[in-house]
Amino acid sequence: MNANPESLSSNDCELQLRADGSLRHLLTLKGLDKALIIELLDDAESYLSPDGTLPVRSDALAGRTIGNLFFEPSTRTRASFDLAGRRLGADVLNLDVNTSSRKKGESILDTIYTLEAMAVDIMVVRDAGAGVPAYIARNVKEFVSVLNAGEADVSHPTQGLLDLLTIRQHRPDFENLVVAIVGDIQHSRVARSAAHGLQTLGVGELRLVSPPAMAPVDAELSFARTVSTLDDGLRDADVVMALRIQRERIDDLDGIPSVGEYFADFGISEDRMRHAKPDAIVMHPGPMNRGIEIDGSLADGWRSVITQQVTNGVAVRMAVLAHVARAMQK
Ligand code: NCD
């Protein structure tokens, strides 16, 4: 869907902040203050039991209602927002997009106004349109918060936070870290949000590793090194993150390798990991395509922190929900 073009030019980072510097909405990690990111990561830790597992419950959201509006497929993000809300004592409404009135031509704002009239306090939105979360944030009533759960190829801030938390648990010294993100960088909101967060936390070196047809084209990622061969990209890396090829966002297949070629050149496996640091960790946001971007035995092996990312995703979403709810009027 096309959002109001005005929304695309505005500064989403300012729009998401309250006058006191706390978050009213979470739209992007781009430009978000380092102290605020660290506060959210620390809060997320507090929702994990000491051994790093879930759940720790609280009543921080008792009496609040969360609406999950996912206009694009999702397993992990939607399930974790749902559980995060329930574990904080909120009522959670999961809108079924296939039977929602948006399918009958209702505008997204009319859907939003309908939920406002039912006193939904926090709207969690995933949409294929760039600018949609900011557009909604600009149009909701004062009492509503909007959380971006995946916006086109632009931004996925809670994924970025869970990736930062997972990295911090294993390698807290960001300034001395080499992080390699491998795969379809150009079409990935996960890569963009991870890059913004890593930049703010002062990562030593970020490498974006991909075939030329999937390399980033945006200037805002120019602080990172673009690398076009896997072995160079992995050399001495501490953290390696594999990404899915985002075929749903690729119109022109020119230069896009076949599945077999892709695995041979960019698929990560224990054998290819010999170029990275001996104790390097492996991440993936899911959904995974085993045998394409990652070998199944590496995904299940000792280096993999993929299931820990999922656990951390619930804790991060609990932290973000509790943060925006803290300043809400009774
Ligand atoms: C990602 C997404 O939707 O952007 N998944 C997720 O949220 N965990 C990555 C993907 O779809 O490949």
Handedness of CA 166, 36, 44, 156 (dihedral sign): negative
**Quick one: DSSP state of residue 36?**
H
Is ligand 1 within 6 A of the CB of residue 244?
Answer: yes
pLDDT band at 10 (very low <50, low <70, confident <90, very high): low
Ligand 1 mutation target, pool 159, 250, 294, 306, most atoms within 8 A of CB: 159
159 pocket-lining for ligand 1 (C-beta < 6 Å): yes
**Residue 243 Cα to ligand 1 middle (Å):** 9
Domains of the chain: 10-155+310-328 (3.40.50.1370), 157-307 (3.40.50.1370)
Return d(Cα 147, Cα 24) in angstroms, integer: 9
Q: Does residue 232 carry a pLDDT above 70?
A: yes
Query: How large is the average pLDDT for residues 15-40?
Result: 96
Assign 9 a pLDDT band (cuts: 50, 70, 90).
very low
What number is the average pLDDT over the span 109-132?
96
Mean pLDDT of 293-322: 98
Closest ligand 1 atom, CA of 190?
Answer: 4
Q: What is the mean pLDDT of residues 130-146?
A: 97
Residue 5 has pLDDT above 60, yes or no: no
In this predicted model, what pLDDT tens digit does every residue of 269-292 receive, in sequence order? 999 999 999 999 999 999 999 999
Is cis: bond before 55, omega within 30 of 0? yes
Ligand 1 mutation target, pool 126, 151, 156, most atoms within 8 A of CB: 156
Q: How many residues does the chain have?
A: 330
Q: Are 40 and 320 in contact (CB under 8 A)?
A: yes
- pLDDT value of position 183: 97
